[in-house]
Amino acid sequence: MTIKDNFYSYIQGLQDTITTKLEAVDGKAKFQEDLWKRPEGGGGRTRVIENGNIFEKGGVNISAVHGALPQSMQTYFGVKDADFFACGLSLVLHPKNPFVPTVHANWRYFEMYDKVGAIVDQWFGGGQDLTPYYLFEEDAEHFHTVCKKACDTHGTDFYAQYKKRCDDYFWNTHRNEARGVGGLFFDYLKANQSKDMKAWYSFVTEVGNSFLDAYIPIVIKRKNLEYSQQHRDWQEIRRGRYVEFNLVHDKGTLFGLRTNGRIESILMSLPPHVQWRYDHQPETGSEEAKLLEVLKNPKEWT
């Protein structure tokens, strides 16, 4: 099979693995599945979980879309009259308990074709990142340790490189703070002198396979901690910053909107309950202030 066929098959299986595990951990809610088609070509399988014991809202979606590259994207890539194929898995989970962090992950593959259908460009992208509302340093260390382990067998410099890119990418420039405590972010992984596309496929799929090991132990450790309305209010205020990033900066959101993607699938990343309070400042020395200090000054976790 081709790279794109192999990767699409992989994300189909990974979606099944992740949603099955999340349902088992939640113990109540089940994923609702929607199959959809894109008029210009392709479609996807959206799975959304809501109102569970643990997960207030979340989605684990796959898609494979193709066709003529829209004019806006031709301008973005600096090409003319190109066709494309793109497939990927994207997930976001918003837990109910403020002590359980939100998590995001995405693994994707893209091809671009000339007028006769020959591949003129291809690459992998993706990553996974953690957004806590209260900082447990051992949780951040665990998440990053799993990410580093997934990277190390493919490149000794990969973790440091893609951790830095994650810190840079998930940065709310208008707030001058990070969205969360980071993880991995990589894009435009193309064939080069050191790695061909099969090697990049191996790397990206290993990162994808590491996701549950990185996240689920944190969920299990924190899911039964008692919390107050004050904790919940802070969670919803921080969720507002999450929404701001996704709507202002996120490339995946913008790509979906520019290629006539399915709106419900694109915006499933938004949490159900959010607050925007005018000039809200946490009390000096509080746990909330401790989180903000790390978000304004990203640190090394391994």
Q: Which residue has the tokens 């607050």?
A: 275
Question: For residue 172, with 0-12 CB atoms within 10 Å meaning exposed, 13-18 middle and 19 or more buried, which class applies?
Answer: middle
Q: Which residue in the list 66, 94, 104, 142 is annotated as catalytic? A: 104
Q: Is 104 designated active site?
A: yes
Q: Is 240 left (phi over 0), alpha (psi -120 to 50) or beta?
A: alpha
CB proximity list for 179: less than 8 A, separation 6 or greater: 129, 131, 170, 171, 172, 241, 242, 245, 295
Q: Which residue has the tokens 């701001």?
A: 244
Q: How large is the greatest C-alpha to C-alpha distance in the chain, in angstroms?
A: 63
CA 140 to mean position of chain CA atoms: 16
Going 20 to 25 to 27 to 29, the CA torsion angle's sign is negative
Going 285 to 184 to 36 to 40, the CA torsion angle's sign is positive
Percentages of the chain per state (helix, strand, coil), in multiples of 5: 45, 25, 30
Using DSSP's 3-state secondary structure scheme, residue 97 falls into: coil
Give me the active site residues, please: 104
